[in-house]
Amino acid sequence: MNAVLATIPSPDRGVWHLGPVPIRAYALCIILGIIVAISWGERRWVARGGQKGDVTDIAVFAVPFGLVGGRLYHVITDNQKYFGPGKNPLDAFAIWNGGLGIWGAIALGGVGAWIACRRKGIPLPAMADALAPGIVVAQAIGRLGNYFNQELYGGDTTLPWGLEIYQRVDPATGLPDMLGGVAVDSTPIAVVHPTFLYELLWNLGVAALVVWADRKFRLGHGRAFALYVAGYCAGRFWIELMRTDEATLIAGVRVNVFVSALVLIGAVAYFVLAARKGEREDVAALQATPEAPAEAGAESSDDTEDATKTEDTAEDTPEDTDEAEEADEKAEAESRPQEPAKPE
Q: How many C-alpha atoms does 30 have within 13 Å on its Cβ side? A: 21
Residues ≥6 apart with Cβ < 8 Å to 71: 92, 95, 99, 100, 101, 104
Q: Rounded CA gap, 21 and 95, in Å?
A: 16
| 13 labeled part of a ligand binding site | no
User: For the stretch 20-57, what's the b/e string if a residue is b when 16 or more beta carbons lie within 10 angstroms of its beta carbon?
Assistant: eeeebbbbebbeebbebbbebbbebbbebbbeeebbee
Q: Would you say 152 and 196 are in contact if contact means Cβ atoms under 8 Å apart?
A: yes
Cα separations in angstroms, 306 against 87, 208, 292, 314: 72, 58, 21, 12
Question: Residue 253 phi/psi, 5° resolution?
Answer: -115, 140
Q: Rounded CA gap, 60 and 297, in Å?
A: 28
Burial class (CB in 10 A: 0-12, 13-18, 19+), 12: middle
Q: Would you say 26 and 150 are in contact if contact means Cβ atoms under 8 Å apart?
A: no
Q: Rounded CA gap, 245 and 152, in Å?
A: 6
Q: Would you say 145 and 26 are in contact if contact means Cβ atoms under 8 Å apart?
A: yes
Q: Rounded CA gap, 141 and 40, in Å?
A: 14
Q: Rounded CA gap, 178 and 9, in Å?
A: 15
Question: Residue 11 phi/psi, 5° resolution?
Answer: -65, 150
DSSP 47-74: HTT--TTHHHHHHHHHHHHHHHHHHHHH
Binding-site residues sit at 143
